[in-house]
Chain A
Amino acid sequence: MSLDEVALQALNGLSFGALLFLLASGFTLVFGLMQIVNLAHGAFYLAGGYVGVAAFGASGSFPVAVAAGAAAAAAIGLASERLLLRRVRGQELPEVLLTVGIALVLADACLALFGGNPRAIPIPDTLAGGVQLGAVTYPTYRLVVLSLAVGVGVLLYLVQHRTRLGALIRAGVDDREVAESLGIDVPRVFTAMFVFGSALAGLAGVVAAGLLTLRPGADTDILLFALVVVVVGGLGSLQGAAVGSALIGLVDAFAKVWVPELSTFAVFAPMAVVLMFRPSGLFGRSRP
Chain B
Amino acid sequence: MITVRLAKAAAAAVAVAAVVAAPYVLPSYVVSLLTLGFIAALLAGSVNLLAGQAGLVSLGHAGLAAAGAYGVAWATVQGLPLPATLGVAGALTLAVSVLYALTTMRTSGIVFLMITLALGITVFGLAVKLSSVTGGQNGLTGIRRPEPIGEWWQFYFFTAAVYGVCLLAMAAMARSPFGLTLRGVRESQSRMISLGYSVRAVKFTAMVVSGGFAGLAGVLLAWNSEFMSPSAVSFPRSALAVVMVIVGGTGTLLGPLVGAAIVVATEYWLSSYLERWPTVLGVALILVVLFAPRGIVGGLEGLAGTLAQRPRRKEKS
Contact = CB atoms under 8 A, between A and B. Distances in A.
Q: Please indicate whether A and B come from the same complex rather than being unrelated chains.
A: yes
Chain A interface residue number, banded: 35 or more
A94 B118 contact: no
Interface stretch (A7-15, A50-58, A267-275): A267-275
A272 B122 CA distance: 9
A101 B125 contact: no
A230 B276 CA distance: 32
A88 B290 contact: yes
B281 A265 contact: no
B235 A224 contact: yes
A104 B109 CA distance: 23
Nearest to A31: B110
B128 A264 contact: yes
Contacts of B114: 227, 231, 271, 275
A95 B159 CA distance: 34
Contact of B129 (A98, A261, A271): A261
B125 A272 contact: no
A272 B118 contact: yes
A213 to B, nearest CB: 21
A269 to B, nearest CB: 6
B282 A108 contact: yes
Given A231-B114, A272-B115, A265 B246 contact: no
Contact of B103 (A92, A112, A231, A272): A272
A93 B108 CA distance: 12
Contact of B111 (A98, A220, A268, A280): A280
Contact of B124 (A102, A228, A265): A265
Contact of A93 (B57, B285, B286): B57
A105 interface: yes
Interface string B238-259: 0100110010000000000000
B282 A272 contact: no
A265 B282 contact: no
A105 to B, nearest CB: 4
15 contacts: A98-B286, A100-B285, A101-B285, A101-B286, A105-B282, A105-B283, A105-B286, A231-B114, A261-B129, A262-B129, A264-B128, A268-B122, A269-B118, A275-B111, A287-B111
Interface of A: 37, 84, 87-88, 91-94, 96-98, 100-109, 112, 220, 224, 227-228, 231, 235, 261-262, 264-265, 268-269, 271-272, 275-276, 279-280, 287
Interface of B: 57, 103, 106-107, 109-111, 113-115, 117-119, 121-122, 124-126, 128-129, 235-236, 239, 242-243, 246, 276, 278-279, 281-286, 289-290, 293
Given A88-B290, A98-B289, A101-B284, 8 more contacts: A93-B57, A97-B243, A98-B290, A265-B121, A268-B118, A275-B111, A279-B111, A280-B111
